[in-house]
Amino acid sequence: MSEAWTFKVINKKNNIIMKKIKILLLMLIPGLGFAQSTTTTTTTTTTGDNTSVPADDKADKKSDNDCSNAYIGFRFMPTLTNMYIKEQNNGNVKASGVLGYGFGAIIGYNFTKNIGVQGEVLYSALAQEFVIGEKKQRLDLSYINIPLLLSLNTNYCKSVNLNFVVGPQIGINTGSKIKSEGGEGTDTIQAVVAVKPADLGIAYGVGVDFKLGSNMHLGLGFRGVYGLLDISDNNNTATTNEYYVLDRAHVKTYSGYVGLSFDF
Is residue 46 in some structural domain? no
Of residues 218 and 47, the one with the higher pLDDT is 218
Is residue 40 in some structural domain? no
Mean pLDDT of 221-235: 91
25 and 129 inside one domain = no
Percentage of the chain lying above the pLDDT 70 cut: 66
74 and 30 inside one domain = no
103 and 187 inside one domain = yes
- pLDDT at residue number 35: 44
Instruction: Determine the Cα–Cα distance for residues 96 and 94; give it in Å rounded to an integer.
Output: 7
DSSP collapsed to 3 states, 190-242: EEECCECCEEEEEEEEEEEEEEECCCEEEEEEEEEEEECCCCECCCCCCCCCE
153 and 81 inside one domain = yes
Of residues 113 and 190, the one with the higher pLDDT is 113
* Angular region, 19: left φ>0, alpha ψ -120 to 50, beta rest: alpha
18 and 98 inside one domain = no
- pLDDT at residue number 169: 98
22 and 79 inside one domain = no
* DSSP β-bridge partners for residue 118: 108, 149
- pTM for the full model? 0.71
Going 211 to 212 to 217 to 221, the CA torsion angle's sign is: negative
Contact 139, 125 (CB under 8 A): no
Is residue 188 in some structural domain? yes
Is residue 174 in some structural domain? yes
135 and 29 inside one domain = no
CA gyration radius for the chain? 45
27 and 86 inside one domain = no
Contact 253, 222 (CB under 8 A): no
Helix %, strand %, coil % of the chain (to 5): 20, 50, 30
154 and 209 inside one domain = yes
* DSSP β-bridge partners for residue 126: 141
Give 20-62 pLDDT, tens digit per residue.
666 655 665 555 454 444 444 444 444 445 555 555 555 555 4
Is residue 57 in some structural domain? no
Can you give the residue range of the structural domain that contains 16?
1-34
With a CB cutoff of 8 Å and minimum separation 6, the contacts of 243 are: 86, 88, 189, 190, 191, 192
The H-assigned helical ranges of the chain are 2-37, 55-65
Is residue 51 in some structural domain? no
Domain count, the chain: 2
251 and 183 inside one domain = yes
10 and 77 inside one domain = no
- pLDDT at residue number 234: 73
- pLDDT of 208 higher than 90: yes
CATH of the domain at 157: 2.40.160.20
139 and 219 inside one domain = yes
Is residue 62 in some structural domain? no
